[in-house]
């Protein structure tokens, strides 16, 4: 029956039950579309006081541990400020009427608060109170509470109404939580997927890098063995040429010419052997302490001759470079190789930027893994050009011995392979960045020694 005594106004007896059903029906439909818990609780409080005719309504929600109730929505005389609860009341489970209802999970009607010792009056003491728990599954999600200035204002009808409201509200609350949980799960899943994709891509790049390193190592071993044997043959050839030179006299000009040509050829062969031994990391290196800045200056001094006026050179150095211990002439030769390549990539002129930087490579740096560098301190010498750039598919090949895109007679394809071998043998490495039409940058990583 809907003739509850807490009603401010009482609808006609006959239609009251039908009216109540309609109110609940509307309530259920509206509740379905409410998107969040806060809106839901305020909507419920509004309807308890509004359509359901209670004089006030306070809703508390409980924490996950079910130890504390927190005021979440309040409507009626006590809260004239609308939807803002500046300092929400917190009540421990078991304390006061609401706390007891939450703990015992049973609704309570207090006929006269004057006789209830556990009543905690707030702004305006009331005489009667009704409080029902909101339970879902195994959890107390909160309580709905209403007070009345008159004693004995609440009966069975009010109990039924509030219990129905509490059931609908807690079901919706649970639904909202589940929605939020699955949104979170979805989010976590997307995160995990993104991480995994990144890992896989990293891994693929690393595998490609490793494959590349192994491939170069294999070619290196092969050409190293070959160069070594070939060198022995060349030694025999040039030794015998020396002997011939001495025994053939007086000189026959024609024989002399033949001898000179043979000697030139054997010198070329020796240079070839040197390049291949360098690539195979079997060059004879003599390390000394070298300041990379000085090395750049001296190399530029004599390499200017190979650069046309249409190409300008700039040096960038922000701090004193850490010292390195390397073979000076091999390092000069490496830098010269990069400068000559940069020149060849800029037939119409352009700019060469030489940058010297101190870099600390940590084990965790992706750079360290990609470059297969032992963690430590390095002086990075970078040579950038504004030339043609290198096509992606050629980047894998440029360090191979004899790989060249230059016309026969112009390129030997031994420049970068020598640079690669020398850098590896010196406990450093070489890396390249390039963009078609924009230019290329070659980075030489020289292992630094602690300053003296
Ligand atoms: N700075 C650069 N810009 C564009 N391509 C380059 C550059 N450096 C090297 N290359 C490419 O790498 C190839 C191999 O270089 P290298 O080993 O020095 O041999 P070579 O200079 O004799 O061709 C070059 O033929 C060229 O295709
Ligand atoms: Mg070259």
d(CA 53, CA 83): 19
CA of 401 to the centre of ligand 1 (A): 11
DSSP-derived letter for residue 416 is H
Candidate of 216, 404, 434, 436 to mutate for ligand 1, largest count of ligand atoms within 8 Å of Cβ? 404
Task: Pick the atom of ligand 1 nearest to 385's CA.
Answer: 1
* C-beta 400 within 6 A of ligand 1: no
* Burial 214-238, CB ≥16 within 10 A → b, else e: eebeebbeebbeebeebbeebeebb
d(CA 88, CA 99): 15
d(CA 263, CA 258): 9
Task: Pick the atom of ligand 1 nearest to 418's CA.
Answer: 17
Per-residue pLDDT tens listing for the chain (452 residues): 344 444 444 444 457 888 888 889 999 999 999 999 999 999 999 889 888 889 889 999 999 999 999 999 988 765 655 677 767 889 999 999 999 999 999 999 999 888 777 777 666 678 899 999 999 888 999 999 999 989 999 999 999 999 999 999 999 998 998 899 999 999 999 999 999 999 999 899 889 888 988 998 899 999 999 999 999 999 999 999 999 888 876 667 888 888 899 999 999 999 999 999 999 999 999 999 999 999 999 999 988 889 999 999 999 998 999 999 999 999 999 999 999 999 999 999 999 999 999 999 998 887 777 788 889 999 999 999 999 999 999 998 999 999 999 998 899 999 999 999 999 999 999 999 999 999 999 999 999 997 65
* C-beta 47 within 6 A of ligand 1: no
Task: Pick the atom of ligand 1 nearest to 389's CA.
Answer: 4
Residues 334/340/342/345 CA torsion (nearest 10 deg): -140
CB 43 within 8 A of CB 34: yes
| Residue 352, CB-side half-sphere exposure with 13 Å CA sphere | 30
Q: In the structure encoding, which two tokens stand for residue 309, read together?
A: 């006026």
d(CA 357, CA 360): 10
Beginning with the edge strand found earlier in the chain, give each strand of the sheet holding 311-317 in spatial order.
311-317, 350-361, 376-385, 439-447, 429-435
* C-beta 418 within 6 A of ligand 1: no
pTM as predicted: 0.63
CB 148 within 8 A of CB 6: yes
Protein residue with its CA nearest to atom 7 in ligand 1? 341
Chain centroid, CA 361 distance in Å: 19
Chain centroid, CA 33 distance in Å: 38
Q: In the structure encoding, which two tokens stand for residue 69, read together?
A: 């109730």
Q: How long, in residues, is the chain?
A: 452
Measured between its terminal Cα atoms, the distance across the chain in Å is 97
* C-beta 350 within 6 A of ligand 1: no
d(CA 282, CA 220): 9
d(CA 276, CA 401): 8
Candidate of 398, 422, 441 to mutate for ligand 1, largest count of ligand atoms within 8 Å of Cβ? 398
Q: Decide the pairing of beta strands 108-110 and 90-92.
A: unpaired
């Amino acid at each position: 029956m809907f003739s509850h005594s807490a009603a401010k106004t009482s609808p006609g007896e006959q239609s009251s039950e039908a009216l109540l059903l309609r109110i609940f029906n509307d309530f259920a439909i509206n509740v379905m579309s409410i998107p969040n818990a806060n809106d839901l609780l305020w909507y419920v409080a509004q309807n308890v006081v509004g359509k359901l005719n209670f004089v006030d309504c306070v809703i508390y929600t409980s924490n996950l541990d079910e130890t504390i109730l927190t005021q979440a929505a309040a409507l009626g005389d006590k809260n004239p400020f609308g939807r803002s609860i500046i300092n929400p009341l917190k009540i421990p489970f078991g304390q006061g009427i609401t706390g007891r209802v939450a703990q015992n999970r049973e609704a309570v009607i207090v006929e006269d608060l004057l006789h209830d010792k556990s009543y905690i009056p707030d702004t305006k003491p009331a005489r009667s109170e009704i409080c029902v728990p909101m339970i879902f599954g195994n959890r107390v999600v909160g309580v709905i509470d209403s007070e009345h200035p008159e004693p004995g204002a609440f009966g069975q009808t009010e109990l039924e109404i509030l219990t129905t409201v509490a059931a609908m509200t807690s079901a919706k609350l649970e639904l909202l939580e589940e929605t939020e949980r699955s949104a979170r799960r979805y989010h976590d899943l997307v995160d995990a997927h993104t991480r995994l994709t990144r890992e896989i891509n990293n891994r693929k790049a690393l595998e490609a890098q490793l494959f590349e390193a192994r491939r170069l190592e294999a070619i290196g071993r092969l050409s190293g063995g070959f160069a070594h044997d070939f060198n022995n043959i060349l030694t025999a050839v040039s030794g015998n040429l020396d002997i011939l030179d001495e025994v053939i006299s007086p000189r026959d000009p024609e024989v002399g010419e033949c001898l000179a040509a043979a000697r030139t050829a054997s010198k070329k062969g020796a240079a070839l052997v040197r390049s291949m031994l360098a690539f195979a990391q079997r060059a004879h290196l003599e390390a000394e302490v070298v300041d990379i800045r000085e090395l750049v200056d001296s190399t530029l001094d004599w390499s200017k001759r190979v650069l046309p006026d249409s190409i300008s050179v700039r040096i960038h150095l922000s701090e004193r470079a850490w010292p390195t211990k390397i073979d000076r002439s091999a390092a000069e030769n490496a830098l010269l190789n990069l400068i000559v390549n940069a020149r060849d990539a800029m037939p119409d002129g352009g700019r060469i930027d030489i940058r010297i930087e101190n870099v600390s490579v940590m084990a965790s740096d992706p750079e360290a893994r990609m470059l297969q560098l032992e963690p430590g301190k390095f002086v990075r010498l970078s040579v950038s050009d504004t030339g043609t750039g290198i096509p992606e598919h050629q980047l894998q090949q440029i360090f191979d011995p004899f790989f060249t895109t230059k016309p026969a007679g112009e390129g030997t394809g031994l420049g970068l392979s020598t640079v690669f071998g020398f850098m590896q043998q010196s406990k450093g490495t070489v890396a390249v960045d390039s963009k078609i039409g924009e230019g290329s940058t070659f980075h030489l990583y020289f292992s630094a020694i602690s300053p003296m």
